[in-house]
Amino acid sequence: MSLPKRIVLVGPMGAGKSTIGRLLARELGYRFLDSDRIIEERCGANIPWIFDVEGEEGFRKRETAMLAELSTEPETVLATGGGAVMRDENYPLLKKDSVVVYLRTSIEQQIERTRKDRNRPLLQNDDPEGVLRRLFALRDPLYTSLADIIMYTDRKSPRLVVRQVINRI
């Protein structure tokens, strides 16, 4: 089997990108990279703080710079933030030397997996479900157009998703 240099996971908040990415990397003997976590480490602050102080635009700039940096890392599985598809300039960075996998997840699953989450600023309001629905309507076509593989994750264990991704790359 000849593996792609990089596997890039895209999809909404609560799709399981980090869980699945970590497992997938372990199975392939690749390094796991999580762009949000690396941004936090570099910045010495968490994402809510970055949104508070620099606004969403400040976070998006950091995200683009991070995706550019990580796009040259071989033998990696990259978990991206759900909004990585919101800037056109990110597309070539996500596509570079990679197979892009869209972890497609129902709104119900997204709600379930992000319930009580405090580290996602876009969901800290009166209507997190409404936000997830609006973001899904906006972003689902973007994830789909970017993806080489669309993988449904509902009612599947992370292990099964990883198996199915490996069978398709």
- Residues lying near ligand S3P in the complex (CB under 6 A): 13, 17, 36, 47, 81-83, 120-122
Min dist. Cβ of residue 135 to ligand S3P (A) = 6
Cβ(23)–Cβ(160) under 8 Å? no
- State the nearest-atom distance from the C-beta of 81 to ligand S3P, in Å: 2
Q: CA-CA distance, 5 to 36, in Å (whole number)? A: 21
146, two tokens = 């970017």
Copy the structure tokens of residue 145. Answer: 């157009």
Q: 3-class SS at 18?
A: helix
88 or 167, CB closer to ligand S3P? Answer: 88
Nearer to ligand S3P, 17 or 104 (CB): 17
Supply the minimum distance, in Å, between the C-beta of residue 73 and ligand S3P: 18
The one-letter amino acid code at 131 reads V
Residue pair 164/151 in contact by the 8 Å Cβ criterion: yes
Residue whose CB is less far from ligand S3P, 6 or 17: 17
Binding site for ATP: residue ranges?
Answer: 14-19, 120
